């Protein structure tokens, strides 16, 4: 496992390159006509360039090169394969930003990116079933679940990208927590020392920190589908690397009996909940699953009078709370029983705060 110093270098490179290139990519996006216009479904008041994703993919490429240089040579094949998959999913999102793709085309493109990962040795091989046991997957099931995981997380992050700074902040918090989680697993010998999962999470943290100064309200640039889908896929690669291949158990893992594969569902609780609730809402309303509406969590928060910035902070804090509950038993070796109660309490608070109604 890379040292904390190595992870800090990788994150810093990703942040610096992203931060430096965002102004340039924003100008290019405007020149190419890739801008989001104000409208009923949007909260911004003026045309805003959708060019942040280009700076973010550059940050990932630079960080991957830095990772190979400072200690990731043992994972060279996985890093190169992961970068290739991220480039594909970014291209799918960029095409959607520029010309618009059908939902089926987007899902197909995202799935194609997911197929690349097993070819590079990045796949979910161990599947933990709650309150039962772990299952060693066959090659066919491994491929299917890996692709579904990538498609699910990529679209989850894309769905939450509705307020300035929201998606980047949520992923920054989640990836920081996941770095700590991966380091802990390496310290106790649960994952192999060459596992690049923490490197992927450090890259996600870096590009988010580099992008956020331009994306905080009022945003000067958006990441677009290219950036959002890529961020979700990046977290998928990190979690697959750490959670999809470890068979060992360690003290403090009672509640997370089927972790670490499903731990991202808790760390990334905001977009995952938003995805599930959007599906239920659209099904009940007899609308297509890809239909756009104003019922996402961030829209609800704003309708309750929180305002743009406060709505983002509420969801950031909720993500931080979920991450803390995940990490507590991992680092203390105890307190497993507190985790489900704490997570349930946080979910209930958020549910009460948003007053969700299925017919909205």
* Residue 168 contacts residue 232 (beta carbons within 8 Å): no
Pick from 32-41, 59-68, 146-155, 266-275: least confident: 266-275
User: Quick one: DSSP state of residue 38?
Assistant: P
Q: In whole angstroms, give the CA distance from residue 238 to residue 285.
A: 35
C-alpha closest to that of 92 among 81, 77, 107, 75: 107
Lowest mean pLDDT among 126-140, 158-172, 231-245: 126-140
pLDDT at 62: 97
Which pLDDT score, from 0 to 100, does residue 259 have? 39
Residue 35, strand partner residues? 49
Name beta bridge partners: 36: 48
Angle at 172 between CA 169 and CA 175, to 5 degrees: 150
304: pLDDT strictly greater than 70: no
Angle made by CA atoms 139, 238, 256, in degrees to the nearest 5: 80
Tell me the longest C-alpha to C-alpha distance in the chain.
56
Q: What confidence score (pLDDT) does residue 347 get?
A: 67
Averaged pLDDT score across all residues of the chain: 79
* pLDDT at residue 201 in the model: 93
Band the pLDDT of 252: cuts 50, 70, 90.
very low
pLDDT of residue 272: 57
Give kind and range of the element (H or E) at residue 230: helix 224-243
Contact 119, 148 (CB under 8 A): no
- As a residue count, the chain comes to 360
pLDDT value at 254 more than 50:
no
Q: Residue 71 corresponds to which tokens in the numbers above?
A: 């200690």
pLDDT, residue 311, reads 76
The tokens for 112 are 């194609």
Instruction: Give the closest residue to 153 by CA, choosing from 177, 136, 175.
Output: 175
Residue partners of 102: CB distance under 8 A and separation at least 6: none
Whole-number Cα distances in Å, 18 to 85, 134, 206, 298, 314? 19, 39, 8, 26, 26
pLDDT at 321: 80
Instruction: Give φ, ψ of 257 to 5 degrees.
Output: -60, -35
Structure token pair of residue 74 = 């043992």
From residue 185, how far is each of 66, 131, 237, 266, 330 by CA, in Å?
23, 21, 17, 17, 8
Lowest mean pLDDT among 77-91, 210-224, 250-264, 290-304: 250-264
> Which pLDDT band, with edges at 50, 70 and 90, does 298 fall under?
low
Structure tokens at 162: 């509705």
Residue 152, by phi and psi: left (phi above 0), alpha (psi -120 to 50) or beta?
A: alpha
pLDDT reported for residue 357: 42
Residue showing tokens 């709650």: 130
User: Which tokens belong to 77?
Assistant: 């094949």
The pLDDT, as a whole number, for residue 15 is: 98
Report, as an integer, the average pLDDT of 118-137.
Answer: 79
Angstrom CA distances, 38 to 41, 42, 100, stand at 8, 6, 17
CA–CA gap between residue 186 and residue 2 (Å, rounded) = 9
- pLDDT per position as a tens digit, 99-120: 888 889 999 999 999 999 999 9
Q: Which residues contact 273 (CB under 8 A, 6 or more apart)?
A: 297, 347, 350
Predicted confidence band of residue 239 (pLDDT cuts 50, 70, 90): confident
Backbone dihedral angles phi then psi of residue 325, each to the nearest 5 degrees: -65, -35
111 within 8 A of 151, measured Cβ to Cβ:
yes
> What per-residue confidence (pLDDT) applies to 76?
87
Interacting residues of 138 by C-beta distance below 8 A, sequence separation 6+: none
What radius of gyration, in Å, describes the C-alpha atoms of the chain?
Answer: 19
Of 98-112, 195-209, 319-333, where does the model show the most confidence?
195-209
């Amino acid at each position: 496992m890379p040292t904390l110093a190595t992870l800090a270098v990788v994150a810093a490179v990703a942040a610096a390159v992203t931060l430096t290139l965002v102004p340039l990519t924003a100008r290019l996006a405007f020149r190419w006509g890739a801008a989001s216009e104000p409208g009923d479904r949007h909260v911004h008041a003026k045309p805003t360039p959708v060019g942040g994703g280009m700076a973010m993919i550059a940050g990932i490429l630079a960080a991957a090169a830095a990772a190979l240089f400072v200690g990731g040579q043992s994972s060279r094949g996985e890093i190169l394969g992961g970068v290739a998959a991220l480039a594909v999913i970014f291209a799918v999102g960029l095409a959607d930003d520029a010309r618009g793709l059908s939902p089926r085309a987007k899902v197909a493109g995202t799935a194609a990116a997911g197929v690349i990962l097993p070819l590079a040795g990045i796949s979910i091989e161990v599947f933990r079933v709650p309150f039962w046991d772990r299952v060693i997957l066959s090659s066919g099931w491994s491929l299917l679940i890996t692709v579904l995981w990538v498609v699910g997380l990529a679209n989850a992050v894309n769905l939450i990208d509705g307020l300035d700074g929201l998606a980047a902040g949520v992923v920054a918090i989640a990836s920081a927590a996941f770095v700590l989680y991966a380091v802990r697993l390496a310290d106790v010998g649960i994952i192999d020392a060459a596992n690049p999962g923490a490197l992927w999470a450090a890259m996600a943290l870096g590009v988010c920190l580099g992008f956020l100064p331009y994306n905080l309200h009022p945003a000067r640039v958006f990441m677009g589908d290219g950036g959002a889908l890529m961020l979700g896929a990046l977290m998928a690669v990190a979690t697959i690397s750490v959670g999809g291949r470890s068979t060992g158990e360690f003290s403090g893992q009672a509640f997370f009996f089927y972790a670490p594969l499903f731990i991202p569902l808790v760390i990334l609780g905001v977009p995952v909940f938003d995805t599930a609730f959007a599906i239920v809402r659209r099904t009940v309303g007899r609308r297509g699953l890809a239909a756009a509406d104003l019922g996402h969590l961030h829209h609800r928060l704003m309708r309750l009078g929180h305002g743009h910035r406060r709505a983002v902070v509420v969801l950031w804090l909720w993500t931080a709370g979920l991450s803390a509950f995940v990490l507590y038993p991992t680092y203390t070796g105890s307190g497993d029983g507190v985790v489900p109660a704490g997570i349930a309490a946080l979910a209930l608070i958020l549910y009460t705060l948003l007053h969700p109604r299925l017919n909205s």
